[in-house]
Structures are given as C-alpha cells and as structure tokens.
Structure 1
Amino acid sequence: MSSTEEQRTEAADRAILRLRGVSRVHGQGAAQVHALSGVDLAVLPGEFVAVMGPSGSGKSTLLTLAGGLDGVSSGQVLVEGQELGALSRKSLAAVRRRSIGYVFQDFNLIPALTAAENVSLPRELDGLPARKARVEALAALAEIGIADLADRFPDEMSGGQQQRVAIARALIGDRRLVLADEPTGALDSSTGEAVLAVLRARCDAGAAAVMVTHEAGHAGWADRVVFLRDGKLVDETGPAPVGALLGGRGDTL
C-alpha cells in the first residue's frame, strides 16, 4: 500500500461519518429508482462538508441514510465506528439521540411543546432530568440567537423562527455529527449567515457537519463540497472553485 493510500485509510478510520459503497433503491422491477448508487464518503472530526446537486440527485437520501432514518439497500453507514445497519432499533435510537443532530427541511417540531421543550426532548428521552435538559435547551436557543422564544409554541412563531428552533434541537448536547437539510431555507440572508457561523464553530470545536444546500455562497463555509448527480458522487472540491464548477449559472444549483 502506498503512503497516500495509508494516509487515506488512517483518515477514514478516524471518520465520524463513513459511507462505504452505499446504495438505496426504491421500488421493484421497471419501477425501480436508484436514489443512491455506490457512494463512498468519509467525514472527519472538525470537517464541514456541503452536498450539492440537482433536484432528485440523492442529496436528502444521503442525509436520511447517514442519520439512520432509513436503511441502505447495500453498503454500510458508520457513525463513530458503529455500523447503523447492525444495531437494534433501541441501540439505533440511542445513537441518533446522543451522537447525531438532524435539521429537517420541514422542521418536525412537536406542536404541543414549547421551543425549549422541543429542544430539550432528545436529552430527556436519554434520561437527563428535565431541569438540566431545560438549561441545555436554553443555552442552545441562545447560541442560535432566539433565547426569547423559549416558551413559545410552534404556531406562535414564524417559519424562520421555527427553523432556528429545529437547529437548536440538532445542536443540544455533545453531538459529534450534525446533518442539515437546507438549514437556512426559511431564513433571511443575515440570519442564515449567523446559523452557518454556528455550524462552522461546532466543526472547529471538533464535531463534523454535513449540509445539503443549493446555495454556492453557503457551500463556501464548508471545507469540502461533494457533488451528486443521479445518485452518484461525481466530484468533490474545496469551497473556492464552487462557482466555476457550477458553470457560471449563478449562485444556485
């Protein structure tokens, strides 16, 4: 094995998230859809990875598999060395509560819970006393700049405010992997930049983040940009050449 290959192997072994030959197929026969095909990806501690590609390219599928929300058709997904497909439902739920923060496009807040209660819920489900979980929730809300919304219910908040609550829920506790599906979609530009700065700071502190985005400017916060097309990883690069790779089609893909 060459020194370069050895370095790559060592880096992959340190990865917080590792996808090995991951494929996801929906349907059967003529109706089969290959959402992902043979994707390999390793995300290291401290690394912020942006995922870009046309609609239907497999971006959201990659996140749902990485977060254990769906199972692979073939291949392996490992989070901090644990293969998700080999875990029991109880163990998988524990990994998702303790190790993975997930920001959904549609927020997935519970209407009957306040912002603080929505954010603290994963910690309470993991056995943390309610009072301590609330303290952590308030800190996460403050980190996103919405501590004043702690006791509001989702229907008392704007879409952008709900999105920030969802981001705070993904950041609470000592989660080492943050998965974000268009996390700034409902936010104005200045608030979106502030949220990206928080994700960047989490990575700088040793976590790993994978963010799906259509915005080249947002991808510029990442250490690496991964491009998907038709379920396959077709290219990856650092943030600087993103505009060139988009072929001069503006700021979105």
Structure 2
Amino acid sequence: MTVQTGAPVLHLEQVSRVHGQGAAGVHALRAVDLKVHPGELVAVMGPSGSGKSTLLTLAGGLDSPTGGRVVVEGTVLGELSRKRLTAVRRRAIGYVFQDHDLMPALTAAENIALPLELDGISSPAAHREAMAALEELGIAELADRFPDEMSGGQQQRVAISRALIGDRRLVLADEPTGALDSTTGEAALAVLRARCDAGAAAIMVTHQTRHTAWADRVVFLRDGRVVDETSGRGAAGVLTVFPLTA
C-alpha cells in the first residue's frame, strides 16, 4: 500500500473537545494533532470512551472543537457559515455511521443518490452512480428495497455505498464492518482501500486488529489523547500491549 504525497486532506490541529463546563466537564479529546493525506487510510483504535467517535464527528464537521482547528482541504471548518459547512460535508466528506442512518422512506438506490441530487446532479445520472456503487459492493439486488426490508448487514453495505459515492475526498467510517460477516466485511474494506488508492483519505474506527492490515497507519487513543502510532501491517503486536502502555 503506497501512500500518496501532498497536502493533507484532513488536519486536526491541536483539537480538544470538552463536554460540559468547570469541574463537571468531560474531556473527550485532548490536543490531538493528526494529518491524513491523499491515498492514506488511517485506523483509529482504543478502549471505549477513548475519544474515537468524537474524533470522527469533529473531523466531519458534525460537532465543533472547544480548542484547536479542523481543516479539510485547506478550509477551516469552524470559519464557515452553516450553509457552507453543510455543502462541504455533503460534497467532500463521506460518513459511515454505526447506526447506518439511512432514510427509511427511500430505497437503497435513492438513499445513495440523494447527496448527488442535492448537489444538482440530475436524478437519472445520480441513479446510475448509485447503481454503480451498489454493484461495487455486490448488492445491486438491494436497489429497490427500503431499509426495513434489509438486514443489518445489508443496511451497513448500503451506508458504505452512500459514503463512497461521488468525489468524496474524505471518508469517515465508524466501525464500518460491525454488522457484516468476516467475508463481506473484508470485501467492504477492499472497496474502501481502493478508494484511498485512487486518492481519497479515510479514517476508520475499528476494534478488530485484523482490519488494520488494510490501513497505512494505526493511531491509538486513550483518555482523549494519541498515545501511540504504528504501521497498519504491524499493528497487531502493538495492540497486544496497548492497554498496559498508555
């Protein structure tokens, strides 16, 4: 896996997030500095409550830091109006949430095509791209099904297709294979890896050590801090000692 060079797609500059105030404040992230470059897939690991999901929501502009800056392709998200931030999230960032977050009144193809249509792409063109995304993950037969007609694993694969459609330069995935069996999960990760090899940047939160084989780097969090970092293909040994070395 060869990481492409260039300016980072994502830069978290000394980013902190505190929930609440004063003595009752909870420090979800503490001065995290992280760059993700074009072509790079970064896996984020750590125990529950370490700040993994908070890191993703801040990186995607779904929440705002209480300290530091989030920069996506040179744009400081905190300096954007709500309208411009929404446009950046829709056009440049793809999300895979743990709860899938599919629109229940839309079919799989319609869910995937929606971001493109909101950007002014015609419905026929958006539908063609949606079908191509479904075929890429081997689930074209789900195109006309609604979310409540799909299993959890099928919904997850549709959510992955939606995150990867269009020219998304940054993909943020929170346990993207959590509802998938091992074979299907590996196939989904192969698609994510291919998107990075084509020039996108991605962060993947995972608890599965074997998934780090798809990553270029693995970043370990504990108590909101980055406590270690290693090559993806060598992460398994590091993870074994991680709980003892934070």
Same fold (TM over 0.5): yes
| Equivalent runs, 1:88-167 vs 2, <5 Å | 88-167=81-160
Alignment of 1:1-253 (within 5 A): 14-247=7-240
Secondary structure in 2 aligned to 1:246? helix
Change (3 A) 1:190 1:160: same
Paired AA for residue 165 in structure 1: V
* SS of residue paired to 2:214: coil
How many corresponding residue pairs? Answer: 239
Deviations along 1:123-165, one digit per CA (max 9) or x if unpaired, are 1111111111111111111111111100000000000000000
Specify the code of the residue in structure 2 equivalent to 1:68. G
In structure 2, what residue type is equivalent to 1:18?
H
* Secondary structure of residue in 1 paired with 2:232: coil
| 1:153-198 Cα shifts (integer Å, max 9, x gaps) | 0000000000000000001101111100000000000000000000
* SS at structure 2 position matched to 1:175: coil
SS in 2 for 1:19: strand
Offset of residue 13 of structure 1: 6.8
Structure 1's consecutive aligned runs of 4 or more residues displaced over 4 angstroms after TM superposition are none
CA distance in 2, matches of 1:218, 1:247: 15
TM-score with structure 2 setting the length: 0.95
Q: Distance in 2 between matches of 1:144 and 1:93?
A: 27
SS of 1:120's equivalent in the other structure is helix
SS at 1:220 equivalent: helix
Return closer, same or farther for 1:12/1:202 CA change in 2, 3 Å cut-off.
closer
The residue identity in structure 1 corresponding to 2:71 is L
Give the partner amino acid of 1:171.
L
CA contact (8 A) 1:12 1:18 kept: no
Distance 1:12 1:89, change over 3 A: farther
Alpha-carbon distance between aligned partners in 1 of 2:141 and 2:104, rounded to the nearest angstrom: 18
Moved more, 232-241 or 81-90: 232-241
Structure 2 segments unaligned to the other structure (5+ residues): none
Q: CA deviation at 1:220?
A: 1.4
In 2, are the aligned partners of 1:12 and 1:42 still within 8 Å (CA)? Answer: no
Q: TM-score, normalised by structure 1?
A: 0.92
The one-letter amino acid paired with 1:206 is G
State the alpha-carbon separation in 2 of the partners of residues 109 and 218 from structure 1.
24
In the TM superposition, residue 247 of structure 1 has moved relative to its aligned partner by 2.3
Fraction of identical pairs, as percent = 72
- The separation in 2 between residues aligned to 1:13 and 1:220, in whole angstroms, is 23
